Amino acid sequence: TTEDSSKLLQSQQPEYGTYHPGATQLCMEVSGYRNVTWRIILCHICAVLTAGILLLIFHWKPRLEILAKCMACPLAQADWVIIRDQFGQHFPAQVQTEQISECSGTELGATSRIADGSDGVGIAVTEEEEWRDTIQLHRKEEKNVLRYYVFEGMRHVWTEMHQDFRKVSTFDEGWTCADLQRYQSGLSQQEQNTKKKIYGPNLIDVPVKSYLRLLVDEVLNPFYIFQIFSIVLWMCDGYYYYAGCIFLISAVSIGLSLYETRKQSMTLRNMVKMTVSVKVRRITGEDDIVSSMDLVPGDCVVIPPDGFLLPCDAALLSGECMVNESMLTGESVPEMKTPLPDGPQAASTVYSPEEHRRHTLFCGTQVIQAKSYTGGELLAVVTRTGFCTAKGNLISSILYPKPVGFKFYKDAIIFVLFLGILAFVGDMYSIVVLVRNKVPVPQIVIRALDLVTIIVPPALPAAMTVGTIYAQSRLKKHGIFCISPPRINICGKIKLVCFDKTGTLTEEGLDVWGVVPMDKTYFLPIVHEARYLPDGPLLYSLATCHSVSLLKQQLIGDPMDLKMMESTGWTLDDNVTELQTTEQFGMKVLAVMKPPPLNEQPHGSKHQVPVGILRRFPFSSSLQRMSVIAKPDGDVPPEAYMKGAPEMVASLCKTETVPADFSEMLRHYTSDGYRVLGFAYKTLTTVMSFEDAQQLTRDSVEGGMTFLGYLVMRNVLKLETTPVIHLLRSANIRTVMVTGDNMLTAVNVARSCRMVEQSERVIFVSASPPIYNKPATLKFIPSRPTLGQERTGEGLYQQEMELLNPGLYHFALNGKSFSVVCDYFPDLMPKVLVRGTIFARMSPDQKTQLVHSLQDLKYCVGMCGDGANDCGALKAADVGISLSEAEASVASPFTSKADNIECVPMVIREGRCSLITSFGVFKYMALYSFTQFVSVLILYTVNTNLSDFQFLFFDLIITTTVAVLMGKTAPANELGTQRPQGTLISIAVLGSLLFQTLLLIIIQVLAYFITVSQTWFTPLNDTVTAPRNLPNYENTVLFSVSGYQYLILAVVLSKGYPFRKPLYTNVLFLLVLIILFMLMIWLTLYPLRFMRFLLMLKEINDMNFKLMLLGFAVLNFFTAFLLEIALDHGMLNCLRLLRGKRESKKLYKRLEKELSVQPSWPPLNEVICASAKKSINFR
């Protein structure tokens, strides 16, 4: 979504050589830098002096390399740029240059137009020469040089006039529909060559690195650098077996990681890379066969009639196409594409791929069938290429996803830094102790560094992803696929879920309930069988006003259109020849609708008149209507038939033809949950031929019509909807409906599925924009089930009576009111959002805007939808779940094969389980480090250490096994009201770590002093260091005690309730724990000689002492267990009481609290006027 970067950057002063792109581009800031020779030489010298460490830092932070080697400069002189995106991340990019031939500027300027981003006016290239940068070469000759950089696959070209870099796609934003129509003649070869240099090849190229490059990148990862450092250190310390095992595991891990990374890159590249041969029309009138890589905006492409895979975005200029867009939208129903509007208004209509999506063929979509009705070829003009296309944007979002700004991950980094500080303190202590013990300096250095590898566990990042991997695997078994695993943890924090209505909460298909015809100015009783309608405009509009098409004798189109057509019994025939239709209708037609055979028609008057369709104006979400021009058989003029939202249709009809009880009848059906469509028609006496119909503009057709009546359809709730909505509300998760449907239909569905309970009230928010110097107005209108009338101007319903007991209420508003409140009442918008439950007549952009607005209130927002209209909102939400089997739904992080909303609570439960597992594993890995850290410090004090195989036993056999299986516990079956916390830096986590650390220190120190006090104890030889002074009593006792502690921590930190099932349900984990506990008991009481030799354990013959060590383990277990229970329940509550109730950091919680103490708000049935000075944005 485009937004003004000034909001994000308002606190910063622009630097020298910095620009902030306006609303036409993404929110990013670009700074220019030029190479400085002496700085580059100095960096090379420093890299040699630091043994390559400087190069490593530059590899991790490329921005630092630019700052070190270059100097800030104006963008016009820049060799490098640093891009700061809307998330605050920095990316360097090299400015590249390419020479363009002398004549190309004039050639390109002849037909091309590029947009001036400041005022949106198209300017010829020859006048402004935006893409040219003239520089002096050695021979004083002027050359045209193109300067650009590539960021996230897209070219940004230097424009001399604006003195900044502009994305190449912005050059075409000023194109009008008339400009595109002029491209029917095509480009010259010279123009094509020049444009190709500017726009680059038409290729969505997914970078696939070689195994060697991947290996270097992986090995230079800070995690593996630390691992290499640790292995070298252990080798120096004589821990060969341990170092060898870790090296082997790391090598296998790297190998698997490289294989998976390259495999995924190759799969994505093969999926998106597409090179096909395309027939392109040249300005000479000839057709060229070119590679799709050579296509540029402005090329006129010939679409073959038997189907075609689109390699670019293109605007359809002639004919009709049936297109499968499932790759992009997940919508399995093919879309009908019609030609771009042409006529007087085309010159002033700026082309927009979104606004004109019904006339746009998108890259990556499949043209199933193409028909040209003028006898010539089917033509389309290329509008976008490469990463600028719709498919390019989709792939870009996969390759360069927005960062997961989750506090858990940030806190984990802070905690690792804290561990580093702890390691430093431990080092200071160990150095003092080792110096006192007269240990040689090299040995002291090794010992001190060894402590760092103990306290900061190298396996921590990998261990923290364990819960996520298991959750992803479980979701896959339920037919839910996830392409962004880090988002699984975010699912655990979801507080609000937005649902689309049709196809998500309700069944996709609608059943026709009946038709409400009219007799002059009043409604007739409903006719449940459309076949019983008499010949006339209403029957003809039901039979023709649709986008249904025949493909291999199969009817394809919108399910609602199919049901409507099916209810009439009429059949479609689009294989008629021009000669046949001319004889029958007196002119050529696109398709013929024929009445059912006489023997299948009901008794009474028979339908015998076929109707020919001359032109279709496709359905548009923003216009809320569609229309057709059709010609009944016989000597009668053509007629225009329109269907759409009743309020919209009525507004385009003559006032005298709209019945007085229009609103009452509409409310009668919509309040019962029916979906209602309005129909209208008018006679077109000026249309004498097929060509005349093609010349008419949509606005001229859709106006001054005669209202015909209603089509009433049943929209049935899916069986799973009500239980899921009830479950989410019981779990204190807000549910919101966002739909393009009628307001009262949405309210009825909300009540039916218990999104709004019967005892709860609905208040309509009606807002009107300013008109005739009058300010914008806002009114809160209470709803009652029986009284009221619709206010057609606002699409809402007036209520005369005041609410007696307001209680809990829900706001309902339509898209128009939503926009007015956003623009003119921003100070009230947060309150409306906190109570808003039903958002009707919302356009796709408004759905996305709603998600962003809810996120601004600090809600963690989930979005569940099934169709093309939801793509923007699915991508904008913290967690997007698409109900689709199509590969296309890669637009959202989650895709469910089941077409119902049962996946939502399942994803939330898995998210909570994964998040709590991540906390548990993190705490376990931290406490494992503390346990080993304490053991080693105690042993350093007496100048010894753990043995090679002891480290191996703890780190691999106990810790790794436990950490891997710990996350296998499945989520709880119930979805409770409690949500897991999302931060590590909290009383609960830090309190647990502190008390458990104190406990393990006490147990280990106590065990050490009791051992020293035994009569049979003999001190070790402190003149030699470990491992030469092994085995000894101190080492053996601490080995036994700490071994139990690792296992005890695994048990007490594997909490089940309320987010996971109990530990015993994780059978494999339970078995491993039992085996490891038995192994430790065996090693404590009756170790075999072989095991004593391998682990370097000292033989202890005192059985009472051994049983006492076992007693220590039991004491440790119960104390640790009670500590966790006390922390979870008693202590935390006491601390909260002592601290007092703090105000929540979440804006929505503060607003909820504020509203709970304001029973008089909102003021009902009062008109609120917007102040002359708009309020500031609530963020």
Catalytic residues, by residue number, are 500
Residue 12: C-alpha distances to residues 18, 72, 1114 (Å):
12, 17, 59
Torsion of CA 710, 713, 717, 719, to 10 degrees: 170
In three-state form (DSSP H/G/I as H, E/B as E, the rest C), the secondary structure along 646-689 is: HHHHHHCECHHHCCCCHHHHHHHHHCCCEEEEEEEEEECCCCCC
Supply 296's token pair.
């540029």
Count CA atoms within 13 Å of residue 933 on its CB side.
Answer: 27
Q: Are 631 and 612 in contact (CB under 8 A)?
A: yes
970 strand-pairing partners = none
Q: From 816, 862, 861, select the one nearest 841 (Cα to Cα).
A: 816
Angle between helical axes of 1067-1085 and 1033-1052 (0-180°, round to 10): 160
636: left (phi > 0), else alpha (psi -120 to 50), else beta?
A: beta
Position 1054: which residue type? S
Q: Are 725 and 737 in contact (CB under 8 A)?
A: no
Burial class (CB in 10 A: 0-12, 13-18, 19+), 672: middle
What's the residue count for the chain?
1179
Position 1037: which residue type? V
Neighbours of 465 (CB within 10 A): 18
Q: Are 876 and 851 in contact (CB under 8 A)?
A: yes
Q: Are 1096 and 949 in contact (CB under 8 A)?
A: yes
Tell me how far apart the alpha carbons of residues 793 and 1142 are, in angstroms, rounded to a whole number: 46
Tell me how far apart the alpha carbons of residues 1176 and 73 are, in angstroms, rounded to a whole number: 35
Tell me how far apart the alpha carbons of residues 35 and 67 are, in angstroms, rounded to a whole number: 10
Q: Are 815 and 841 in contact (CB under 8 A)?
A: yes
Q: Are 687 and 696 in contact (CB under 8 A)?
A: yes
Burial class (CB in 10 A: 0-12, 13-18, 19+), 251: exposed
Supply 836's token pair.
């808003």
Q: CA triplet 232, 236, 237: central angle to 5 degrees?
A: 115
Cis, bond preceding 1058 (omega within 30 deg of 0): yes
Q: Are 565 and 572 in contact (CB under 8 A)?
A: yes
Q: Are 555 and 601 in contact (CB under 8 A)?
A: no
Tell me how far apart the alpha carbons of residues 994 and 577 are, in angstroms, rounded to a whole number: 85
Residue 689: C-alpha distances to residues 255, 295, 733 (Å):
69, 36, 59
Q: From 1034, 913, 883, 1062, select the one nearest 976 (Cα to Cα).
A: 913
Torsion of CA 439, 441, 445, 451, to 10 degrees: 10
Q: Are 611 and 631 in contact (CB under 8 A)?
A: yes
Q: Are strands 894-896 and 761-768 parallel, antiparallel or unpaired?
A: unpaired
Q: Are strands 796-798 and 789-791 parallel, antiparallel or unpaired?
A: antiparallel
542 alpha-carbon distance from chain centroid: 39
DSSP 733: -
Q: From 958, 948, 944, select the one nearest 1037 (Cα to Cα).
A: 944
